[in-house]
Structure 1
Amino acid sequence: MNQPPVPPHEPGTELGVSPWHVITQDDIDLFARATHDHDPMHVDPDWCARKGPFPTTIAFGFLSLGLTTHLSHEAGIWPPDAYALNYGFDRVRFVAPVPVGARVRGRFTFLGATPRVDGTVLTRTGVVIEIEGEERPAVSGEWLGLMFPPEAQRRLVA
């Protein structure tokens, strides 16, 4: 079998940076409804002002992490002729809270790729979800993707 192509980057190469994305209370509330997690630190601004560890609601860490795919598409990091599936994360850290109204963006760095015998490529991408005006990021981690070059995509539907 032919070896699948490996993305043409050296480890450490920055792949792209997304535009800024505002985190709204609507985003947070929709995430709370979808995950059945109605923690007042995230969904109740009055509670936060009176009792919370932060003066306002903050985004769920998993909401910030969940924006990774959207932000990666906005950053244009994926080859146009390949399809990638989320394979998981390594070393994810929720570094700093994201207050409602903050703007976040994704910064993506190529960390490596391993061709697999089935024609796919296991990619490793560094992800940092930055918070505008903050020194510390919201999230950092290593994102694993299973890239399907065009010839491997055809096998998916066969």
Structure 2
Amino acid sequence: MVVISSFEEYKSFEGQVLGVSGWHTISQEQINKFADATLDHQWIHVDKQRAENEGPFKSTIAHGYLTLSLIPYLWKQIADVRNVKMEINYGIESIRFCEPVLVDSEVQLQAKVKSITNLRGTVKAVIEAILILKGKDKPVYTGDVVFLYHFN
């Protein structure tokens, strides 16, 4: 894990891959809870029997937005940004979904610091996020996430 305590330290990682998170298994229980939270109960996510019989993947799959929602959790395994008054999830840019995530698959996040900008005391970090699917060459998604930090 990389520890970052200031704008200058963050800036020193610009253009570099910071690392990868640990593996996370996406269970049917997690998919079902996400469906309940988002009111998205499409059968391809929650109906195991129908997905096996009628679905193109012969399995239920995770919601794309579920996989995106893992970014903060997995990011915290890669970088420990300290000495901040506030951290804001500011946005997601240019996300492209490339590969479905079947139930019980393992994923991990690879994070690269694309740019670090000091906006009059607010640090804007653009992180290239690639969600890797264990055993597959094609990523689940690629894109940029933007965090804002107010360092002490």
TM-score by length of 1: 0.87
Instruction: Count residues with an aligned counterpart.
Output: 145
Q: Which has the larger radius of gyration?
A: 1
Q: Which residue is equivalent to 2:74?
A: 71
Bigger drift between 78-87 and 40-49 goes to: 78-87
SS at match of 2:145: strand
Q: CA deviation at 1:11?
A: 3.2
Q: Which residue is equivalent to 1:153?
A: none
The 2-side partners of 1:149 and 1:51 are apart by: 51
Runs of 5+ consecutive residues of structure 1 not aligned to the other structure: 151-158
The reply on whether 1:81 has 2:83 as its aligned counterpart is yes
1:85-135 per-position Cα deviation (integer Å, ceiling 9, x unaligned): 100011011110000010000110000111112x11111000011000100
The answer on whether the counterparts of 2:124 and 2:146 sit within 8 Å (CA) in structure 1 is yes
The reply on whether 1:115 has 2:109 as its aligned counterpart is no
Q: CA deviation at 1:64?
A: 0.3
The 2-side partners of 1:11 and 1:120 are apart by: 16
Q: Which residue is equivalent to 1:138?
A: 140
Q: CA deviation at 1:84?
A: 2.0
Q: CA deviation at 1:79?
A: 2.1
1:7-34 per-position Cα deviation (integer Å, ceiling 9, x unaligned): 1324320112100000000010000000
The answer on whether the counterparts of 1:122 and 1:146 sit within 8 Å (CA) in structure 2 is yes
Which ranges of 4 or more aligned residues in structure 1 deviate by more than 2 Å? Answer: 8-12
Runs of 5+ consecutive residues of structure 2 not aligned to the other structure: 1-5
- Aligned positions of 1:12-31 closer than 5 A: 12-31=15-34
The answer on whether the counterparts of 2:11 and 2:116 sit within 8 Å (CA) in structure 1 is no
The answer on whether the counterparts of 1:9 and 1:110 sit within 8 Å (CA) in structure 2 is no
The structure carrying a bigger strand percent of its residues is: 2
Q: Which residue is equivalent to 2:3?
A: none
Identity of aligned residues (%): 32
The answer on whether the counterparts of 1:56 and 1:100 sit within 8 Å (CA) in structure 2 is yes
Paired residue type of 1:34: A
